[in-house]
Amino acid sequence: MFPKSFKKLIDHFASLPSIGPKHAERLVLYLFKQDKDKIADFAETLKNLKVNLSFCKKCFNISERDLCEICLDKKRDQKTVCVVEEPLDIIAIERTKKYAGLYHVLGGVIEPGKNGGSNLKFGELENRIKKENIGEVILAMNPTTEGDATALYIARLLKPLEIKITRLARGLSTGGDIEYADEITLGSAIINRK
Amino acid sequence: MFPKSFKKLIDHFASLPSIGPKHAERLVLYLFKQDKDKIADFAETLKNLKVNLSFCKKCFNISERDLCEICLDKKRDQKTVCVVEEPLDIIAIERTKKYAGLYHVLGGVIEPGKNGGSNLKFGELENRIKKENIGEVILAMNPTTEGDATALYIARLLKPLEIKITRLARGLSTGGDIEYADEITLGSAIINRK
């Protein structure tokens, strides 16, 4: 029914998380009604997404340069590293303005049956702690079964290094997602970390 | 917090209907993790959305050529025109396989206070009915207040032409959207049109 090029764009949108086929149809129809310039700008920005950006070589946050803005900011507490699952978690934590240390993005959690964590940045974290003068590691995984298991794994991995290891206070609702926590809850979870 | 190019793409996604800022962040992060080739293909398809496509000069459906596939299909009933609000409504009606006539896309409905309908294809509809040998016009507006008002307007506009004018049977739930109707309900609404 749809012209082929239309159908192809619908398929692209429908392949994104939380966008169903009907929603994708509406999005493409909406775009089709927009200015040519707006669409061209959208397409150009999308095309350059990976051209201009990569991951920070130190903490694996999204970055325009080799090192991200947070790693380059010498005013931040260089002795504390907060370990998170995804770059979006950094945004959520930064919004609370209760944390001024560094980060380390794992890139996910250990999911039994799916991956053993070989794609996650555990080795890189261990090396950082050995090389840099880190005094405390905050484990800020999501409060889920997989997040807990991953935190436990890291705690054991880092135990020989004899540094302070803390977790965010369990004010977070179990089964939830750090990214969607409100700023006050997330902020007090940072302050009450144990 | 986000690199500028990242933020810009988030803004583009957040400008689409039914996509909030948090959802847009997730979409961009998801895309960022995809293959360069997949992103390039997505961007290319988006860029060419308007290059390859325009509106059918006769019925204003989306089309790759001057006339859309439905208008070019001589096997279809050339004496019946179904007037719809949007091209997506055509898809929904075609899916029912209960209609084999032609279409006319208005491009929206009359929204009092917003537009008086000057951007809608009323004149083009009137001219088609005068020129082509049309025997019946089916008004398939959404069963909303605006849809009803628009249908009433068209019925009055076409009255002097003395052709059969029908509306889809009110099996459709009032306040709903044709595009989301299930095929059976929509199919019987076509058959029981009055």
pLDDT one-digit tens code per residue, B156-188: 999 999 899 998 876 666 677 777 777 777 777
| CA-to-CA dists, residue A2 to A9, A25, B68, B88, angstroms | 11, 10, 10, 9
Chain centre distance of CA B191: 21
Work out the number of other CB atoms within 10 angstroms of the CB of residue A175: 10
* Residue range of the domain that includes A20: 4-52
| CA-to-CA dists, residue B51 to A1, A36, A52, B99, angstroms | 19, 9, 26, 30
pLDDT-derived band of residue A95, with 50, 70 and 90 as boundaries?
Answer: confident
CA dist B95 and B108 (Å) reads 21
The predicted structure's pLDDT at residue A3: 77
Cross-chain Cβ contact A90/B1 below 8 Å = yes
The predicted structure's pLDDT at residue B1: 64
Given a contact cutoff of 8 angstroms between Cβ atoms, the answer to whether B102 and B78 are in contact is yes
CA atoms within 13 A on the CB side of A54: 7
CA dist A61 and A107 (Å) reads 9
Q: Give me the helix-helix angle, A36-47 and B4-14, nearest 10°.
A: 130
pLDDT, one tens digit per residue, over B98-136 is 899 999 999 989 987 776 778 899 999 999 999 998 999
Residue type present at position A13: F
The predicted structure's pLDDT at residue B27: 93
B148 and B66 within one domain: yes
The predicted structure's pLDDT at residue B111: 85
Residue that the structure tokens 């009933």 belong to: B77
pLDDT at A79 over 90: yes
At B145 the three-state DSSP class reads helix
pLDDT, one tens digit per residue, over A14-31 is 999 999 998 999 999 889
- Say yes or no: B39 contacts chain A, CB-CB below 8 A: yes
The predicted structure's pLDDT at residue B135: 92
B64 and B137 within one domain: yes
A128 and A75 within one domain: yes
The mean pLDDT of A138-166, rounded to a whole number, is 91
pLDDT-derived band of residue A128, with 50, 70 and 90 as boundaries?
Answer: very high
For residue B104, what are its two tokens?
């006319």
Interface of B with A in 12-31 (CB under 8 A): 12, 16-19, 22-23, 25-31
Q: Which of A31, A46, A94 sits opposite B42 (nearest CB)?
A: A46
The mean pLDDT of B6-32, rounded to a whole number, is 92
The mean pLDDT of B15-35, rounded to a whole number, is 91
Query: What is the length of chain B?
Result: 194
B15 and B104 within one domain: no
Q: Which of A140, A28, A40 is nearest to A94 (CA)?
A: A140
For residue B137, what are its two tokens?
């016009």
Strand ranges of the sheet holding B80-84, from the earlier edge strand across to the other edge = B102-105, B80-84, B136-139, B164-167
B165 and B105 within one domain: yes
Total domain count, chain A: 2
B132 and B178 within one domain: yes
A66 and A27 within one domain: no
B65 and B45 within one domain: no
Residue from A19, A36, A50 to probe the interface with B (highest B Cβ count within 10 Å): A50
pLDDT at B26 over 70: yes
Interface of A with B in 162-191 (CB under 8 A): 179-180
pLDDT at A115 over 80: no
pLDDT, one tens digit per residue, over A19-64 is 999 899 999 988 988 888 999 999 999 998 888 778 899 999 988 8
- pTM score, two decimals? 0.69
Cross-chain Cβ contact A42/B41 below 8 Å = no
A43 and A115 within one domain: no
Share above pLDDT 70 across residues of chain B, in percent, rounded to a whole number: 96
B10 and B75 within one domain: no
CA dist B23 and A63 (Å) reads 20
Q: What average pLDDT does the structure give for chain A?
A: 87
Runs of H (alpha helix) within B33-167: 36-47, 49-52, 69-72, 87-96, 122-131, 145-158
Cross-chain Cβ contact A86/B4 below 8 Å = no
At B105 the three-state DSSP class reads strand
B170 and B122 within one domain: yes
The predicted structure's pLDDT at residue A191: 78
B131 and B35 within one domain: no
Residue that the structure tokens 């555990």 belong to: A122
CATH code: domain of residue A176: 3.40.1360.10
pLDDT-derived band of residue A6, with 50, 70 and 90 as boundaries?
Answer: confident
CATH code: domain of residue A46: 1.10.8.420
